[in-house]
Amino acid sequence: MKTLRPIVLVCGFISASLFAQKPEVNFTAMNPEQRRAFEIEVMEKVADLALIPPKLNTSPLPKYDYDQLAYGMTIGIARTPGGRLWACWVAGEDGAKAFFVCAVSDDDGETWSKPVLVIDGQSDKLPMPRSVLVGNLWTDPLGRLWIFFNQSMAQFDGRSGVWAAICENPDATKPVWSAPKRLWHGFTLNKPTVLSNGDWLLPISLNRAGFGPFNGAFKELDPMRSANAFLSKDHGATWQRQGHLQFPNPD
């Protein structure tokens, strides 16, 4: 509990009924199951910090210039109606400190711009890192560019969340992005599929358990921890969960 107490104090999530008088006495009186239940309750409230809408940084230089980036892991690439290539990758690390970086090419990948878009959930006001780690780029049938990404406290807080932002003018000198919208829990790694009837199918996976202190959090989501399929009939304005596929002993 010594490692969790700073998180509790920083976030202000102390239970008034439990700790109003003698916090040490009340906590030490718990049995191991009660103590772990309390810790999970605290960590779920910490995970709510990942529900705060992230900001898209469209002026990332010089802070996120190439000489400041020491790690890269591919996310995806998409071609716009005008022929521009957008590429996105993970910077920071493959872990809790991860964030997204995007660059563009107007000559079929012969040369690339400096970073033009960064999605970084890190903040010195948070009790722990907040990661942006999984996602993809996609040009939809209307010619709009989408960026899908997850946001989670630490590497995986047991819930995470798929966010999407849309660029109506991805070939412009100054592309403009919509405010990110949270679609559901979990992660989207692959691009949507356009069905023969025009509907869009989006894959969203939800891992089995949170990492580290988040292990056991959000038990109410356990029936949905699987490979989920979401359908949109209105060009991505809304998405509805259609079904899921669960694997035995996934990791």
Q: In what side-by-side order are the strands of the sheet with 200-205? A: 193-194, 200-205, 227-232, 240-245
- The reply to whether 190 falls in a domain is yes
What is d(CA 150, CA 53) in angstroms, rounded to the nearest whole number?
11
Assess whether pLDDT exceeds 50 at residue 4: no
pLDDT number for residue 58:
98
pLDDT number for residue 34:
86
pLDDT number for residue 8:
43
What is d(CA 36, CA 211) in angstroms, rounded to the nearest whole number?
15
pTM equals 0.88
Q: Which domain holds residue 70?
A: 47-245
pLDDT number for residue 207:
87
Residues 74 and 162 in one domain: yes
Residues 189 and 143 in one domain: yes
- The reply to whether 251 falls in a domain is no
Residues 38 and 109 in one domain: no
- The reply to whether 93 falls in a domain is yes
Residues 33 and 118 in one domain: no
User: Would you place residue 35 in the very low, low, confident or very high pLDDT band (cuts 50, 70, 90)?
Assistant: confident
What is d(CA 113, CA 106) in angstroms, rounded to the nearest whole number?
9
Q: For residue 152, give the DSSP letter.
A: E
Assess whether pLDDT exceeds 50 at residue 56: yes
Assess whether pLDDT exceeds 80 at residue 96: yes
31 versus 229: the higher-pLDDT residue is 229
Count how many domains the chain has. Answer: 2
Tell me the pLDDT of the chain averaged across its residues.
Answer: 91
pLDDT number for residue 68:
96
- The reply to whether 250 falls in a domain is no
Least-confidence region, from 108-112, 144-148, 244-248: 244-248
Residues 110 and 228 in one domain: yes
What is d(CA 58, CA 55) in angstroms, rounded to the nearest whole number?
9
Long-range contact list for 181-186, CB < 8 A, 24+ apart? 182/51, 182/53, 183/230, 183/239, 184/228, 184/230, 184/239, 184/241, 185/159, 185/160, 185/161, 185/221, 185/224, 186/150, 186/159, 186/160, 186/161, 186/162, 186/228
- The reply to whether 191 falls in a domain is yes
Assess whether pLDDT exceeds 50 at residue 12: no
Assess whether pLDDT exceeds 50 at residue 228: yes
pLDDT number for residue 26:
74
Residues 76 and 87 in one domain: yes
pLDDT number for residue 184:
98
